[in-house]
Amino acid sequence: MTDMNLVRSPARSRVGLAEAVVDLSVVRDNVQTIYKRLRPGTEVLAVVKADAFGHGAVQVARAAVEAGATWLGVARADEALQLRAAGLTVPILTWLYDATELVLLADIDVSVSTVSELNQVVSAPNVHNVQLKLDTGLHRGGSAPDQWIELTRAAAHYEALGAVRVRGIWSHLSHGDELDASHSRRQLELLRTGVTLARRAGLSPEVVHLANSSGAITLDAPDCNLVRIGAALFGIDEVDAGVRSPMRLVTKVAQVRRIRAGEGVSYGHDYTAPRDTTIALIPLGYADGIPRIAAGQASVLCRGVRMPVLGRITMDQFVVDAGELALEPGQPVTVFGDGSDGEPTAADWADWAGTIPHEIYCGLGARVPRRYVEGVQR
């Protein structure tokens, strides 16, 4: 069985066609960067859902906790259980689960948005920690404001009976990635009111949280003592927070050939060479998370040169234009990284694909192994 905790030696030669190299020291730096921007006493919940945006949930969670994160957050029950099985003991919040999974979540905080959900939690074996979620404007989940009093009173009743423990109250920003925090401030006011009503019902939440990575920087929320950072862990910097990308997607040239002017490249010959040129085959495709729609705009870095993608990106491979540069099979290629060597970034690929960096990272396929390092590796 593969050791999921292994940080391989920087001297290890690359094996296979491609790999995603994740620098865990950058993850730690990103946590510390956010901490420096917070009010003293504010805690950090590291969001490691979706296998930590494709970076590796257990490895990233450990790095974040080592850097001072005191909570972890995931979307689904099985993600929480994976972290517990790996030996992570900090509090974990999950917000999507089935009632049948509650029996497994005795030491996991579960989000509750309705009295019906609360009743399911109470009916499950063991006493559960719950966090009540209030919908302050995202309208994607959480208690409707007109049902909040009923939910908080029911929660206080069950807590008095010893059936649950209400550990937190939270909500989610709808415009958290905007520098203008006016909408976020309105949501904060609604959350403030919700917390006041919860306290009147007899609840005493340990944590109150609203801000995501960007909101942690743009929203001054003295009422909240926890922020949730997901994007910032992975260098997705929407508000100039100063975080860096920990991942480099690297591969190597598979084949090299010359083509003549007028010859087409890849399926359908969407691209026809206007001149004689050298082309190189890159052994990654949309099955590995390379967005097909980026063809015609995307490029990769090889020998210090940006090489444009020619023709269609296919399931397992794509072609780039090397011009007159001398290439050989096996030469290293960087598909994306932090940009420090002139390579494209995940944000560049997101722009080319008309999406967001989150989707680029999450789309990275299982055929691409992750390698974990400490310090910059090239």
- Assess whether 196 and 299 both reside in one domain: no
Q: How many domains does the chain have?
A: 2
Domain boundary among 179, 211, 234: 234
| pLDDT value at residue 6 | 34
315 carries a ligand binding annotation: yes
Query: Given the structure tokens 């009976």, which residue do they identify?
Result: 161
pTM: 0.93
In the predicted model, what is the mean pLDDT of residues 122-145? 96
Asked if the structure places residue 21 within a domain, the reply is no
The percentage of residues in the chain with a pLDDT greater than 70, rounded to a whole number, is 95
| pLDDT digit string, tens, across residues 85-114 | 999 999 999 999 999 999 999 999 999 999
| pLDDT digit string, tens, across residues 6-29 | 333 333 445 589 999 999 999 999
- Assess whether 199 and 299 both reside in one domain: no
Asked if the structure places residue 369 within a domain, the reply is yes
| pLDDT value at residue 15 | 57
- Assess whether 163 and 88 both reside in one domain: yes
Domain that holds residue 325: 247-373
- Assess whether 189 and 282 both reside in one domain: no
- Assess whether 323 and 230 both reside in one domain: no
- Assess whether 56 and 183 both reside in one domain: yes
Asked if the structure places residue 183 within a domain, the reply is yes
Asked if the structure places residue 151 within a domain, the reply is yes
247 carries a ligand binding annotation: no
pLDDT(62) > 60: yes
Which of the following is catalytic: 49, 97, 286, 372? 49
| pLDDT digit string, tens, across residues 239-270 | 999 999 999 999 999 999 999 999 999 999 99
Asked if the structure places residue 336 within a domain, the reply is yes
Domain of 362, CATH number, reads 2.40.37.10
Domain of 83, CATH number, reads 3.20.20.10
Instruction: Please state, as a whole number, how many other Cβ atoms lie within 10 Å of the Cβ of residue 54.
Output: 25
Residues in Cβ contact with 11 at an 8 Å cutoff, skipping those fewer than 6 apart:
none
Which of the following is catalytic: 97, 133, 252, 267? 267
Active site residue 267: yes
| pLDDT value at residue 16 | 85
Contact criterion met (CB below 8 Å) for 299 and 336? no
Strands (E), 262-331: 264-265, 271-272, 277-282, 299-302, 305-310, 318-323
| Mean of the per-residue pLDDT values of the chain | 94
In the predicted model, what is the mean pLDDT of residues 123-134? 95
β-strand pairing of 247-252 with 128-133: unpaired
Asked if the structure places residue 147 within a domain, the reply is yes
Active site residue 36: no
- Assess whether 180 and 275 both reside in one domain: no
| pLDDT value at residue 179 | 87
Instruction: Please state, as a whole number, how many other Cβ atoms lie within 10 Å of the Cβ of residue 98.
Output: 9
